[in-house]
Structure 1
Amino acid sequence: MNNPPDKMLEVHNVVKRYGSVTAVDGVSFSVNGGEIFGLLGPNGAGKSTTIRMLTTLTKPTAGELFVDGYSVVNDQVEVKRRIGVVPQQNNFEQELTGRENLLLHALLHKMPKKIRDARIAELLAYVGLEDRADERVRNYSGGMARRLIIARALLHGPSILFLDEPTVGLDPQTRRKIWDLILLMNRSGVTVLLTTHYIEEAESLCHRVGIVDYGKLIALDSPKKLSQNIGEFCVEFLKDFGVERHFFATRQEARNFVSGQDFDTVVRRTNLEDVFVELTGRVSKELAYA
């Protein structure tokens, strides 16, 4: 089976079970070429398991997955040529320099010498590490390591980049630099699929997002349309047991509701975090402190 030309990635009724536990339960979605697609969900919802299946690290129990028309199960060599992966944890050789880590990756992909040397230099400059390229990675800051791992993932020229929580644990300034890199990569033609617990990250970067919970895909659309689906305007106010929120299609409906209340209220536009909390029914610790 081949995908339509505009589909970089397709997931068809995919299931992943570990014994009696179903981590992914009949998930289906597609990612268009040139798109930034976000996969959101609480801890344990199935995001990372889905990424592991798409990147050939875990075999699905049932269903089909395709990358650029190639079966993830049956055409793993072709799939690996087309994907770049930024895992949650930095997995560098700590005693090697940044440049040497990139060279090792290039050798694993059998890149010709004259191509790999130029590509390594280009990407070190691209992520702003050319001046630190010959230092051992063990001396890198968290932000430097994340930039290097993105450079490594791009080295062999992938068609799609998988980013599994690419900015977790980074300070806001460094996080914004990573956002800029993601947008630049996408502008150059790289399709991106990312998972994140930072909902404002997905709202800022993604053309579309899918929300998963308990292994199922429960929503899929652009951040704007998902927000409109629950009501474009939010009224929130503090009550005895916490903040209460109500959603309305128009600002006037929200104002009409406020006029009948005798406590302080805020009227604002609905955002993607509102959608996430409404659909999943809970706030993870990471979200609460994002």
Structure 2
Amino acid sequence: MEKPRALTQVAKAVALGISVLLVVIPFWSVIATSLADQQTINDSGGGMVMWPRGVSLAAYETVLSGGVVTRAVLISVGVTVVGTLLSLAATAGLAYWLSRPGALAAKPMLMLVLGAVLFSPGLIPSYLVVKEFHLLDSLWSLILPVLVNAFNVIVMRAFFQELPKELFESAAIDGVGAATTLFRIVLPLSKAVLAVIGLFYAVAYWNAFFNALLYIQSSEKWPMALVLRTYVVNQTTIGGDQGATEALPPQLPLQMAILVIAIVPILLVYPFLQRHFAKGVMIGAVKG
């Protein structure tokens, strides 16, 4: 391949710089506003600021003082960790089963998985299923209905099928069972796809609020995403035991502080998975 011309390299650098600024500037404005004092907010006309002249941690002290937001963060962390681990276990097990030639009922199950990609269950049937299993107002209603994502199963199955067949043949000759093969051979070689799928599940669990809105009635069980929606979108605070709310005056730094707290955990997780993520996103892109 020929070396790109200088003009092409400059154009790429400019385009990349603009893209980075479009991402960084809004995020920086959110952080700056969360740290701004009331005088800075008043001087800006009550809107977002780019550089706080007076730094104040009052908003973070308010939301992290052991109240609603702190409890919601702990709930979201628990749901995300437990849900991601269970989803990875279920997805890996199902994908491994579907990837093995001659597995019992693998083809009918694969057709069901493909059907789940094309057709999603309706809102009312999903609610009735959750109700029949007595999961309403339970944190398990945020995990079990979305435990397995069909698209993730297909991606992981494709990765398992690309592993060298000689590994499985050697394991079969040595008399190794399917479970041992999965845990001792397949999963150690699948760190890339596990990191990618795990990140997908973690982001989905952390950001999900609609299921909580449907299934959770008690406000003390609300996850962070639903609390964020209540504070930022509705500009209300949570009170009472059944999700009752009372009006708040606009408090922009408080809202931005909650937004930062909701975003930062995922941003902190990504650097640890970046090495595997860069490899995992190419799964299935190149054959041979």
Please give the TM-score of this superposition, normalised by the length of structure 2.
0.24
Higher strand share: 1
Higher helix share: 2
Which of these two proteins has the greater Rg computed from alpha carbons?
2
Please give the TM-score of this superposition, normalised by the length of structure 1.
0.24
More contact order relative to length (CA 8 Å, sep ≥ 6): 2
